[in-house]
Amino acid sequence: MIKAEIFLLADFMQSKDIEEQLKKRNINSDSEIKKAIPIGLGSTHTIRLGERLHVGMVRVRPKTQTQKVDNNRHSNSTEKFTFPTDTLLAYDIEISYYEDDNNDDASIGVDNNDVMKKTQRLNDLGLLSGDNSIIYNNNLHHLHGDTPPLPTFFIPGRASKSLLNIIHGSCRKLHGKGEDSLSIADKLIAESVRNLNKRPSVLFLTGDQIYADDVAAPLIQHLTNFGIHLSGWEENIHGIDQKLTSIGVGERQKLVQQYAKFTSENAGNHLLSFGEFAAMYLISWNIENWPKSYPHINTIPHKVQKIYGKEIEQLEKSKRSLPAVRRVLANIPTYMIFDDHELTDDWNITKELHDAVSSSVCGKQIMANGFAAYWAFQAWGNDPTIYDQKFVAKVTDYLAKQGNESIYERKEFEEFLLNFHAWSFYAPTNPPTIFLDCRTQRGYDTICGPPQLLNEEGLLALYKLLKNAKYDTKKVL
């Protein structure tokens, strides 16, 4: 179970000050006078995507407060409390799960006599202090004055001086050259934590948050093993007569070109299984999921050794930036859309390539794995209403089979994801922002020629999005 609370930061800071005063006077710190009252509440059960992989989407709604009257009685009337705009809001998360004392594995939402319930909040998880803190505090950022004790965000009002203050990012290859530029956003927020006229209000990530094709050689074995650990089993890739753990470093290029019909020129360590895709997302945002060490250079093929050391240097630069990147994501509303590398380079770039992958048993399996991971780690949070219970059940039920599905069930799952065309969405900014899926709804005039980024179905979906966003569609007609 995951619970979330949203507070007015001013109320929370006041309660914090009162608590400190009570401690100085040796007064019981559990006094109700110190407690900040949340203005928003939400909770959810997680869904299970693997034996050790749980994902949850908490929708927090404004709290309806009951008005107190004399003698501690309550009236029958209630007042709807809406989230305020142009005001700093803070939030805390509580995770409840059951853990076997004799086993390292945790199970969420399962209650029996053999396990023990544990509850942890952000502070218990070590996220509010230290080098990996997700809050902006004096120790890390040399800030002045009182600093928020929890992660914060704000909702711009329509009358704000700065209606839309955007940070835009794209293409985060972990072994890319230089520093991770998304860490600059950490400095921007730190410099304006309380100044909402300057503090960025929203982050747009428009593609390639992971590279499924161009994966660094020092990481691939860790991703494979981490993926198996998360899933609880080793997925067989149909059409490839090798286990994932038996494929050598840098040896996937010919496999995906021959069997999956992919065209990436940097696919020597292409992600294949759902577990590998999930593992890549988890290391892209959290330093704690990285390997403790990389395989020794003498253990990998000679042809890869030339770039191996350089890739390690580049990976270490990205790794150092991850605490800052994670902090950014914890303190700003974020919207994401895929481009191509989340699945494979240049997918659907021509009708010829589209048809080739669609006719490949191997290609469809890998693509479906990529779509499922993209939904779980990026798309679900954009607009949860797009993905109903049927969608969620389709993914969770299939992954729960752990490779024991029938041919019919596998084909049904792959066709469901490959033919799903509701990835586009709008963000409720002012003015509204439209995020377009320009990959799955393409049109083709020729077999090998350039595509139309949106076919008629895509254009109709765009029109509906504009209407739902209450945008004046007459302006675009």
Task: Tell me the per-residue pLDDT of 417-431, one tens digit each, with 9 for 90 and over.
Answer: 999 999 999 999 988
Share of the chain above pLDDT 90, in %: 78
Last residue of a domain, one of 155, 172, 191: 155
- Residue 23: CB atoms within 10 A of its CB come to 12
Per DSSP, what are the bridge partners of residue 425?
Answer: 435
State mean pLDDT over 266-285: 98
Q: Considering the domain boundaries, does residue 319 fall inside one?
A: yes
User: Which amino acid would we find at residue 123?
Assistant: N
Instruction: List the single range of 27-31, 131-135, 153-157, 332-336 with lowest mean pLDDT.
Output: 27-31
State mean pLDDT over 9-29: 62
Q: Are residues 294 and 366 in the same domain?
A: yes
Q: Considering the domain boundaries, does residue 189 fall inside one?
A: no
For residue 114, what pLDDT is reported?
A: 60
For residue 74, what pLDDT is reported?
A: 45
> What would the pLDDT profile of 452-476 be if each residue is shown by its tens digit?
999 999 999 999 999 999 887 666 5
Q: Are residues 213 and 149 in the same domain?
A: no
Q: Considering the domain boundaries, does residue 162 fall inside one?
A: no
Is the model's pLDDT at 300 over the cut of 90? yes
Q: Are residues 272 and 419 in the same domain?
A: yes
User: Which amino acid would we find at residue 336?
Assistant: M
pLDDT category at 26 given cuts 50, 70, 90 is low
Domain count of the fold of the chain? 2
C-alpha 295: how far from its chain's center?
A: 28
Is the model's pLDDT at 35 over the cut of 80? no
For residue 75, what pLDDT is reported?
A: 43
Q: Are residues 245 and 351 in the same domain?
A: yes
Q: Are residues 254 and 361 in the same domain?
A: yes
pLDDT category at 141 given cuts 50, 70, 90 is low
Q: Are residues 322 and 244 in the same domain?
A: yes
- Residue 275: CB atoms within 10 A of its CB come to 29
Instruction: From residue 193, give the alpha-carbon distance in Å to each of 15, 333, 378, 476.
Output: 20, 14, 25, 37
Query: Residue 252 and residue 211: Cα distance in Å, rounded?
Result: 15
Q: Are residues 119 and 212 in the same domain?
A: no
Three-state SS at 7: strand
Query: Residue 168 and residue 206: Cα distance in Å, rounded?
Result: 8
Better-scored residue on pLDDT, 179 or 345: 345
pLDDT category at 65 given cuts 50, 70, 90 is low
Per DSSP, what are the bridge partners of residue 434?
Answer: 426
Q: Considering the domain boundaries, does residue 403 fall inside one?
A: yes
Better-scored residue on pLDDT, 75 or 169: 169
Q: Considering the domain boundaries, does residue 352 fall inside one?
A: yes
Helices and strands: H and E segment counts in the chain: 12, 18
Are 299 and 250 contacting, i.e. CB atoms less than 8 angstroms apart? no
Is the model's pLDDT at 413 over the cut of 90? yes
State mean pLDDT over 66-86: 56
Are 319 and 287 contacting, i.e. CB atoms less than 8 angstroms apart? yes
Is the model's pLDDT at 369 over the cut of 60? yes
Share of the chain above pLDDT 70, in %: 85
Report the length, in residues, of the chain: 477
Q: Considering the domain boundaries, does residue 242 fall inside one?
A: yes
Q: Are residues 151 and 286 in the same domain?
A: no
**Highest mean pLDDT: which of 59-73, 79-93, 454-468?**
454-468
Q: Considering the domain boundaries, does residue 166 fall inside one?
A: no
Q: Which residue, among 148, 143, 144, 142, has the nearest Cα to 128 in the 3D structure?
A: 148
Instruction: List the single range of 26-35, 89-98, 345-354 with lowest mean pLDDT.
Output: 26-35
- Residue 289: CB atoms within 10 A of its CB come to 16
Tokens of 188: 């921007």
Q: Are residues 37 and 125 in the same domain?
A: yes
Q: Considering the domain boundaries, does residue 367 fall inside one?
A: yes
Say how many Å lie between the first and final Cα of the chain, rounded: 47
Q: Are residues 230 and 114 in the same domain?
A: no
Query: Residue 98 and residue 4: Cα distance in Å, rounded?
Result: 19
Three-state SS at 23: helix
Q: Are residues 421 and 336 in the same domain?
A: yes
Mean pLDDT of the chain: 89
Is the model's pLDDT at 357 over the cut of 70? yes
Query: Residue 163 and residue 156: Cα distance in Å, rounded?
Result: 6
DSSP character string of 88-143: -EEEEEEEEEEEETT-S-EETT---TTEEEEEEETTTTT-SSSTT-SS--HHHH--
Instruction: From residue 208, give the alpha-carbon distance in Å to each of 36, 130, 174, 276, 341.
Output: 40, 30, 11, 16, 5
> What would the pLDDT profile of 151-204 be if each residue is shown by its tens digit?
999 999 877 665 689 999 999 999 999 989 999 999 999 999 999 999 999 999
DSSP character string of 126-141: T-SSSTT-SS--HHHH
Last residue of a domain, one of 135, 155, 175: 155
State mean pLDDT over 16-26: 53
pLDDT category at 69 given cuts 50, 70, 90 is very low
Which domain range does residue 37 map to? 2-155
Query: Residue 363 and residue 367: Cα distance in Å, rounded?
Result: 6
Q: Are residues 328 and 429 in the same domain?
A: yes
